[in-house]
Structure 1
Amino acid sequence: MLRIVKGMLSFLFVLFLLSGCNTSKVDIFQYKNSYVGDNNAVSHILNSLPSNNHLKGFELETKEKPYGIIIHYHLEIEEGYEQTVLYNSTYLFSLIQNVELIKFDFEGMEYEMTKGNLEKWYGRDLNEFTNKEELEDLIQDHLKDQDKVKQLFN
């Protein structure tokens, strides 16, 4: 009897280890061309972005144009508010085709980003990006110039 229990425990342990090894990250660009009204897609995108562990919730503004998203975060963001706003709005504008406005609420401290302003700042149409690597390169290149980042937020 003890032998059977040991065998079952060993089997369950191996099964547990294998299931843990099978977790793969979802390609965020599978949500390319989503719409602001697709709550599921917006939720998956937000939960795949940095600072997702500080996400409190979000609201979709879909009744009238400009369509937008309001994202609520806990106040403590390690990499800084500006970096979070820049990074997350770049991804959201690239992936969601009809979003024009994103409001970030860090427990009362608010930032607002429009697609037009961000595309003008980058000098690029954000809809043209088709993979994470290209978009990451764009973001990282622009984050290097802190004066330019400050200009975007003033």
Structure 2
Amino acid sequence: MRQMIKFLLFSLMVLLFLSGCNANNESQDIFQYKDSFVGDNSAVGNIVNQLQSGEHLVGFELKTKEKPYGIILNYDWPESENTHKETAIYNATFLFALVQNVDWITFNFDNQEYTITKEKLQESYGVELSEFKNEDELRKFTEEFLKKYK
């Protein structure tokens, strides 16, 4: 009986360890949230926490009562204006690529506020953001775009 209890405890520990490893791998793949909707609080929260400066995010609001739908992201991050602009463009790119029905995003950084619309950003890029299939492809595209405008 005693060996049976030890075996069960050991098995439980192995399962918990494997579950923990699996959960970490899933949270790193931001494209698992592709085709989410603004109203999916959990998906949007997981996306924004994995984006640049996610550690400075202090909260977000989803505007879903009437179209156009939007997201407001609030950061506690006293950095330079250029860093804020780049972060806003980078993060907006990912959110527009992953969240189907988001039309605008407002970024609040201490004393700076930026609102980016999907229409204007896609116009600047010259591509449909929902066409991107993986994080590496979108990240490289966005970084190249940002290099041109530094």
Normalised TM-score (structure 2): 0.80
Instruction: Name which of 98, 103, 116 aligns with 2:101.
Output: 98
1:107 aligns with 2:94: no
For 1:36, what is the secondary structure of its paired residue? coil
Instruction: Name which of 118, 123, 126 aligns with 2:121.
Output: 118
- Count of residue pairs brought into register by the alignment: 132
d(CA) in 2 for partners of 1:68, 1:146: 26
The structure with the greater share of residues assigned to helix is 2
1:64 aligned partner, one-letter code: E
d(CA) in 2 for partners of 1:77, 1:42: 24
d(CA) in 2 for partners of 1:144, 1:86: 12
The answer (yes or no) to whether the contact 2:78–2:110 under 8 Å persists in 1 is no
Match of 2:6 in 1: none
The answer (yes or no) to whether the contact 1:29–1:131 under 8 Å persists in 2 is yes
d(CA) in 2 for partners of 1:108, 1:71: 13
Match of 1:68 in 2: 70
- Root-mean-square deviation (CA, aligned residues, Å) is 2.2
d(CA) in 2 for partners of 1:75, 1:51: 8
Alignment of structure 1 residues 46-65 onto 2, 5 Å: 46-65=48-67
Structure 1 portions without partners, runs of 5+: 1-10, 148-154
Match of 1:152 in 2: none
Evaluate the alpha carbon distance shift between residue 88 and residue 68 of structure 1 in structure 2; reply closer, same or farther with a 3 A threshold: same
The answer (yes or no) to whether the contact 2:104–2:116 under 8 Å persists in 1 is yes
Q: CA shift at 1:44, angstroms?
A: 0.2
CA deviation vs aligned residue, 1:11-51 (integer Å, no higher than 9, x gap): 9xxx8xx78x9343521000000000000000000011110
Alignment of structure 1 residues 2-151 onto 2, 5 Å: 22=21, 23-24=24-25, 25-77=27-79, 80-146=83-149
1:117 aligned partner, one-letter code: K
CA deviation vs aligned residue, 1:29-76 (integer Å, no higher than 9, x gap): 000000000000000000111100100100000001110000000132
2:123 aligned partner, one-letter code: K
1:143 aligned partner, one-letter code: L
